């Protein structure tokens, strides 16, 4: 069953035809008009009430269809989650950084919902998996402790916002004792007076502008300039020296479990998450910053960027699967090579959503499916993909409950 899916317009999204989100939707639905002035940030595929998908031919809300046909989700899914899709599947097109944030575990999500229901409106956790479609920049997890100490040592502006006492504590701390010290330093940084933060950021940007190219690269001067341009004076600009910064190539992935600090910076990706809105923010955002909650909940483990990449396992010659350590979702990446005309999808015991990123196909009894077409597939369904115009690889992603 082909789906009509919701586009979300957020300020950080890419504009007009530059947005992969807009390009995908336009390809699947040529009658849609794309406004070159609007930011097309996200494509939502699923049953989330803020952007539910509809069955295209029947104009029926997908959740309503599932509730009337409970068996489509699969026996194991219905037993564990009920008649629903416990995940939200997305495509993101990012022009400027999303907020520095983390997501609470289930226990903390429940507590936050009970204490602050106007801010944290549901009690579910929100683990996420992001798979790059284009070169994709991100901040994720705290850097190795030695790297953080080196940046603090050579950046007096960073020292000024962390504070002399915490900097001295950091310098004398070994890796085995790093978590508490890092927590104190991060707290000092994120609660520093905004006027001091703004002054020190401007001082650092001017100093790096006059530095040699080697120093500019080491201290990520171009990234700092870009973040400051988008979020002037925001303390989150300093986070690039505490959090891992890296660029994923197409097909590479990161998994974001509870309490992991992160921020997406630029690029396009496929993302899947538990169906929740629970986000705790503390920088690079005009939205509410809940610094105290974030400081309390964060995982202060220090690891290299390479440890944050999430590996897939191969299922057959066309399909790799990303299975995170949660039951809410898994994602299959399906690549049909040039010259191959037919591929049988691996049947799943849970309902799934499939999106075509590149290529063209027919799936009986549907009409021809183009780039951007999204399908709802009931549990245990056997699907035969007939590839059309197979001179280039066909790329699809399929999300389903990890049961």
Tell me how crowded residue 176 is: count the other CB atoms within 10 A of its CB: 7
Q: Which tokens hold the place of 134? A: 């284009």
Residue 395 to residue 190: CA distance in whole angstroms: 41
Give the number of C-alpha atoms closer than 13 A to the C-alpha of residue 273, restricted to the C-beta side.
25
Residue 352 to residue 346: CA distance in whole angstroms: 11
281 part of the active site = yes
Catalytic residue of the set 281, 309, 323, 371: 281
DSSP 307-371: GGB---EE-SSSEEEE--SSSS-EEEEEEEPTT--EEEPPP-SS-EEEEEEE-EEE-TTS-EE-T
Classified as helix, coil or strand, 390 is coil
User: Burial level of 127, CB count in 10 A (0-12/13-18/19+)?
Assistant: buried
Residue 136 to residue 167: CA distance in whole angstroms: 32
Cβ atoms of 329 and 273 closer than 8 Å:
yes
Nearest to 311 by CA among 302, 324, 298, 300: 324
Q: What angle do CA 332, 335, 338 make, to 5 degrees?
A: 170
Report the catalytic residues. 281
């Amino acid at each position: 069953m082909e789906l009509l899916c919701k586009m979300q317009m957020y300020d950080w999204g890419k504009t007009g035809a530059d947005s992969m989100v807009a390009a995908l939707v336009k390809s699947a639905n040529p009658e849609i008009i794309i406004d070159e002035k609007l930011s097309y940030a996200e494509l939502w595929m699923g049953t989330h009430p803020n952007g539910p998908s509809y069955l295209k031919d029947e104009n029926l809300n997908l959740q309503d269809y599932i509730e009337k046909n409970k068996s489509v989700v699969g026996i194991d899914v219905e037993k564990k989650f009920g008649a629903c899709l416990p995940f939200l599947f997305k495509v993101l097109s990012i022009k400027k950084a999303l907020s520095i944030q983390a997501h609470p575990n289930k226990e903390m999500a429940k507590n936050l919902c009970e204490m602050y229901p106007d801010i944290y409106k549901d009690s579910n956790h929100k683990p996420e998996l992001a798979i790059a479609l284009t070169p994709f920049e991100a901040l994720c997890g705290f850097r190795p402790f030695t790297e953080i100490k080196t940046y603090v040592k050579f950046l007096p502006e960073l020292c000024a916002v962390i504070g002399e006492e915490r900097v001295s504590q950091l310098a004398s701390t070994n890796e085995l004792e790093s978590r508490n010290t890092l927590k104190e330093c991060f707290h000092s940084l994120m609660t520093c007076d905004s006027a001091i933060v703004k002054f020190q950021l401007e001082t650092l940007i001017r100093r790096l502008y006059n530095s040699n190219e080697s120093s500019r690269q080491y201290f990520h001067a171009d990234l700092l300039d870009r973040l400051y341009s988008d979020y002037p004076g925001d303390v989150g600009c300093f986070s690039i020296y505490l959090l891992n910064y890296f660029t994923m190539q197409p097909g590479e992935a990161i998994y974001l479990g509870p309490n992991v600090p992160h921020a997406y910076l630029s690029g396009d990706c496929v993302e899947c998450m538990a169906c929740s809105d629970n986000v705790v923010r503390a920088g690079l955002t005009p939205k509410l910053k809940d610094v105290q909650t974030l400081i309390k909940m964060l995982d202060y483990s220090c690891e290299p960027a390479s440890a944050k990449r999430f590996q897939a396992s191969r299922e057959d010659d066309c399909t790799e699967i990303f299975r995170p350590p949660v039951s809410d979702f898994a994602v299959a990446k399906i690549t049909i090579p040039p010259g191959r005309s037919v591929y049988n999808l691996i049947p799943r015991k849970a309902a799934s959503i499939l999106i075509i990123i590149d290529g063209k196909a027919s799936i009986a009894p549907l009409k021809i499916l183009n780039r951007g077409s999204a399908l709802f597939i009931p549990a245990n369904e056997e699907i035969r993909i007939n590839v059309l115009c197979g001179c280039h690889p066909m790329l699809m992603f399929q999300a389903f409950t990890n049961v």
